Amino acid sequence: MVITWLLFAAATTLIPFGWIVPTIYRYTESTAWTTTFSLFYILLFQNKFLLVLVAARLLAKPKLLPYWNPMTTAAIVAAADYVAPELFPWSWGNAVAAQPWLRQLASLASVYAIAFAAALTAGFLQQLIRHGPALRSKEWQLVFAKTTLLWLFGGIFYHGQFFSPKPTGQKLRILVVQTNLGVVRTREAQQMATRAQNSLLRQSLEGAILRAPLDTIIWPEASLPFHSTDSNQENIDIYSPSYDAVIEYVQRSTGAALIYHDLFRQNQQLYSRLVVRPQSGQNYYLKRRLVPWGEYLPFENELPVLREIFPEAGKFHAAKLSDEILVPLSQPKDRISDLPSHLRALQVLRDGAAVRKALPAPPQTQTLTIKPLLCYEALYPEEARTQSAELLVNLASDAWFGDGLEGAQHAAAAALRAVENGIPMVRAALTGVSFIADARGEFVVRPTAQAREENLFAEIPLGRRQTVFAQWGMKAFWLFVGLCTLPGMLWLSTKRSSHNF
């Protein structure tokens, strides 16, 4: 059984997640360490398959558990899917969530409810093929009824008017700028800074000219790597006056609020930060869940020699608090000057102070509450849960992973956060995939391609639909698992008691 588990874990890791291995190589630039860590990852992070094989053994014995066996087994599979630690938290629910109606099960108990539905269906078919002739028709009628009922929940949630988003009357015009900057190492930061700023400025102004008026412009994570827009003493060595100027110029010339990413040092610790301009109160969010090796080096304090092996690994710190932040919205400009007019004004882009002096700030008319998610954080349902935000905003960079499967997998997994919370979501990814989804998790416009410079625009209605997950979080999932395993556990307990007598 253990050998089966190891082989199954290796196969299911290397086939869909083969990009993990070359990504580790990009960090280490060492074949030996890449191979060693890949094997370690398969053994440690894929241990959920051991629980799954235990569940499979239960499923193979219909005499041990009667007609609720598939339900108990599916609950074990879904629980194993959730509790197992993974470097890239990909649920089996993500693999079967392509249909819009099936995705709506996530609004009940997160993406792991979809994993349960998939496991239940697989268990039902497995027993039907293997033991169907030996089982009583009454038992299978109950199994079939329960399985059908669960799958119908997705259709009811999708089509039912009761679960439709409640519109607020406000529509948001959003522009996402995907610059396709690619991987930038620390040693290349300065030479790439000019190119990054030129791309951000040009694409933002082009989008504003074509799509004005705009309420919000969103730039991806790592749009200008290794720099900050905060000029206080602690950040002065990473502060970029020209980046600050580009941000102020785009925001003031278009009248749109700007959401972007930079670095931020506080109390001698470096953080990854999402920032909003114009500033009004707490206008930034510090990242809480960091990517191993990409943003921090696991066990570095215990084994300092690891820094020599992984010289490119990040040195960020994880923040403790997670709060929604307010985005001040101004009256957007209906018409934006053409590019030659902007080019004549570029002499003010030497620093942010010069732009603030030359261009007046647009008056603020209202605010938008957003739930910020930086890159990896959008893969965790509980991290993204919100009851007060009007919009989920995910800034990401998948540049390290190339233009293969990872970008599509990451985007598809992130989109389920909109379903779970019942509010729209925007994802801005440096090299793709960027998307704008409504409160049902459906894409309002076609998502961007990978490895391509592109602007994405959509007008989305703001509104919230009440979901079980937004109200209860993962408590709803564990209650769901408990209710599904309880009949089987009670039957086993009764069976043992009667056997003792």
pLDDT at 5: 58
Q: In the sheet that 325-330 helps form, which strands lie side by side, from edge to edge?
A: 325-330, 364-374, 391-396, 425-429, 435-437
Higher-scoring residue by pLDDT: 246, 157: 246
Q: Please state which of the ranges 46-60, 202-216, 452-466 shows the lowest mean pLDDT.
A: 46-60
Q: Tell me: cis bond preceding 62? Omega within 30 of 0 counts.
A: no
The tens digit of pLDDT for each residue in 180-239 reads 987 666 556 677 888 899 999 999 999 999 998 999 999 999 998 889 999 999 999 999
- Do 491 and 448 lie in a common domain? no
Half-sphere exposure of 76 (CA within 13 A, CB side): 21
- Do 323 and 253 lie in a common domain? yes
pLDDT at 206: 93
In a domain, 445, yes or no: yes
Measured distance CA(123)–CA(60) in Å, rounded:
9
- Do 132 and 275 lie in a common domain? no
In a domain, 446, yes or no: yes
Measured distance CA(79)–CA(90) in Å, rounded:
13
In whole angstroms, how large is the CA radius of gyration of the chain?
25
Other C-beta atoms lying within 10 Å of the C-beta of residue 256: 30
- Do 53 and 130 lie in a common domain? yes
- Do 209 and 357 lie in a common domain? yes
- Do 139 and 183 lie in a common domain? no
pLDDT at 143: 61
The tens digit of pLDDT for each residue in 307-323 reads 887 777 789 999 987 78
Q: What is the mean pLDDT of residues 427-446?
A: 94
- Do 338 and 220 lie in a common domain? yes
In a domain, 81, yes or no: yes
pLDDT at 481: 87
Instruction: Name the average pLDDT for the chain.
Output: 81
Inform me whether the pLDDT recorded for 134 exceeds 60: no
pLDDT at 156: 60
**What are residue 425's DSSP bridge partners?**
392, 437
pLDDT at 162: 46
Q: Are 373 and 394 contacting, i.e. CB atoms less than 8 angstroms apart?
A: yes
Q: What is the CATH number of the domain that holds 324?
A: 3.60.110.10
Q: Are 481 and 79 contacting, i.e. CB atoms less than 8 angstroms apart?
A: yes
- Do 290 and 374 lie in a common domain? yes
pLDDT at 90: 76
pLDDT interval class at 277 (50, 70, 90): very high
pLDDT at 42: 62
Report helix angle 241-254 to 189-211, nearest 10: 0
pLDDT interval class at 302 (50, 70, 90): confident
Output DSSP code: residue 311: T
The tens digit of pLDDT for each residue in 61-94 reads 555 555 456 777 788 888 888 887 777 777 777 8
* Residue type at 37 in one-letter notation: F
Most confident option among 210-214, 301-305, 356-360: 210-214
In a domain, 147, yes or no: yes
Q: Please state which of the ranges 86-90, 138-142, 372-376, 394-398 shows the lowest mean pLDDT.
A: 138-142
- Do 228 and 271 lie in a common domain? yes
In a domain, 58, yes or no: yes
In a domain, 200, yes or no: yes
- Do 364 and 247 lie in a common domain? yes
Give me 314's structure tokens.
């990040």
- Do 370 and 493 lie in a common domain? no
Output DSSP code: residue 267: T
The string of DSSP letters for 114-155 reads HHHHHHHHHHHHHHHHHHGGGS-HHHHHHHHHHHHHHHHHHH
pLDDT interval class at 293 (50, 70, 90): confident
The tens digit of pLDDT for each residue in 115-126 reads 888 887 777 776
Give the number of domains in the chain. Answer: 2
CB burial of residue 409 (10 Å; 0-12, 13-18, 19+): buried
**Residue 132 structural domain:** 47-163+476-500
- Do 117 and 203 lie in a common domain? no
pLDDT at 161: 42
Beta strands in 305-352 (DSSP E): 325-330
H-type helices in 427-473, by residue range? 468-472
Question: By C-alpha distance, which of 118, 90, 168, 176 is closest to 443?
Answer: 176
In a domain, 381, yes or no: yes
In a domain, 1, yes or no: no
CB burial of residue 183 (10 Å; 0-12, 13-18, 19+): middle
Q: Are 234 and 266 contacting, i.e. CB atoms less than 8 angstroms apart?
A: yes
Q: Are 472 and 478 contacting, i.e. CB atoms less than 8 angstroms apart?
A: no
Please count the residues of the chain.
501
